[in-house]
Amino acid sequence: MNLPQREILVQPWQPEALDAAQSAPYAPGEAQRVLRFHRSMPGYAPTPLHSLPALAALLGVRAIYVKDESPRFGLNAFKALGGSWAAARWVAERVGLDDEHLNFAALTSPNVRERLQGLTLVTTTDGNHGRGIAWVARQLGLPAIVYMPKGTAQERVDNIRALGATVEVSDLNYDDTVRLAARTAREVGGALMQDTAWPGYEQVPRWIMQGYTTIASEAREQVTALGDAAPTHLFLQAGAGSFAGALAACWATWPGQPVPRIAVLEPHAANCFYATARAADGHLHAVGGDLRTIMAGLSVGEPSTLAWPLLAGTASWFLSCADEVAALGMRVLASPLGQDPRIIAGESGAVGAGVLAAACLCGQGNALREILGLDEHASVLLINTEGDTDRENWRKVVWGC
Ligand SMILES: Cc1ncc(COP(=O)(O)O)c(C=O)c1O
């Protein structure tokens, strides 16, 4: 076993006070409204939450839960939750629909469709978000232009094209490709549906983040049904941080339950939240360059301005992980023990399981296990945010060929 390959760097963090105004969009009332909308969509079903008691026993923790987002809307990742809610809010504003009671039927009525003629949705993606936007655009009868950074796996391109979107693969990294998409949206008068925020561009990403709260709403009900209303740990992987920020804020604003301790997980190559926490100087710290990592969904070097305050107000640790940690997680979830279910997790989805296994089993040392408090009382909730969205790489990692 080659330990340095599985290196995990930890930056402990003392959560600051969570700003009430910043967290309000993800609080229970709003989250319920989002959930109601998602329930009105074709193909909606809550994704499963699996308990892995045999793995928990091996790793010496009380419980491990994996909320598996791979079946979400048949798209192999969670992302359409955000794109659908953002597109719905955008359309509602544009055509004057009552956004208190938004539902899918109202959005797709002939009258609304007619008023949306000529509109194009534009975005940038590492794969999953763009697939979600292409899917939503098709549902709404709109064209979509999806930009992807250099190095994108062909399967991810094909999946988006198959939904009818125009796909352009740039020769830029993710963050520069986002700027390219923003320019195109301005030029064609399209709606930029980007899942990261920057100064002056926050409304759409806030809606996208709100869309992700459906995962937390479902997961809370599901862990409660399993008799464990209060997991002690929540592991959240971060690219731009929209997913992690939204789930952390949603969980932290739920009344009446202790808030789990939150670990934010990133790849070494794109560890902008880790760098920001480490610097602790009140500024966001971006990471540049190629951002090359097998965790394509987390390959984002510029932190979302909406996400950081939420994570700073909720997280206890920021972790920077070698690619091999995600690979470990993919293997662990693909080869269950005892009666535990088998879970197909892609690179970005599996990093939480990799951290858990590395900390508890693979000699990352009891130091990491101790820092994270992963003892026999720990009940850990992981979110598998994607399935095998790059099947060739999944096989290479899990089968070795
Ligand atoms: C599978 C997967 N997990 C996690 C993330 C991280 O989401 P965010 O960029 O909101 O941090 C992404 C982003 O594309 C993703 O595709």
273 and 384 part of one domain: yes
| Pocket flag, ligand 1, residue 242 (CB < 6 Å) | yes
Q: Is the beta carbon of 130 within 6 A of some atom in ligand 1?
A: no
- Residue 240, classed as helix, strand or coil, is coil
The reply to whether 58 and 100 lie within a common domain is no
CATH number for the domain that contains residue 139: 3.40.50.1100
Range of the domain at 148: 80-201
Do residues 91 and 65 both lie within one domain? no
pLDDT at 1: 43
Mark whether 291 and 317 lie in a shared domain. Answer: yes
pLDDT < 70 regions, the chain:
1-4, 363-366
225 and 177 both lie in a single domain:
no
Q: What pLDDT shows up at residue 202?
A: 97
Total number of domains constituting the chain: 2
Residue among 347, 333, 352 at smallest CA distance from 388: 347
One domain for residues 217 and 249: yes
HSE-CB for 199 with a 13 A CA cutoff: 1
Direct distance between the N- and C-terminal alpha carbons of the chain, in angstroms, rounded to an integer: 19
Helix (H, G, I), strand (E, B) or coil at 389: coil
Assess whether 195 and 328 both reside in one domain: no
Which of 193, 208, 243, 347, when mutated, tests ligand 1's pocket best, judged by the most ligand atoms within 8 Å of its CB? Answer: 243
Q: Are residues 143 and 194 in the same domain?
A: yes
For residues 170, 176, 182 and 187, what is the CA-based torsion angle, rounded to 10 degrees? -60
pTM: 0.97
**Quick one: 192 and 227 in the same domain?**
no
Catalytic residues: 79, 126
Nearest one of 163, 161, 167, 80 to 122, comparing CA atoms: 167
Tokens of 21: 């105004």
Predicted local confidence at residue 179, as pLDDT: 97
| pLDDT number for residue 365 | 59
Return the pLDDT at 10. 96
**Does the beta carbon of 271 lie inside 6 Å of ligand 1?**
no
Residue with tokens 């049904």: 225
Rounded Cα distance, 185 and 193, in Å: 9
Residue 194 Cα distances to 55, 117, 203, angstroms: 37, 21, 10
Question: Looking at residue 2, what is its pLDDT?
Answer: 44
pLDDT reported for residue 364: 55
pLDDT value at residue 4: 56
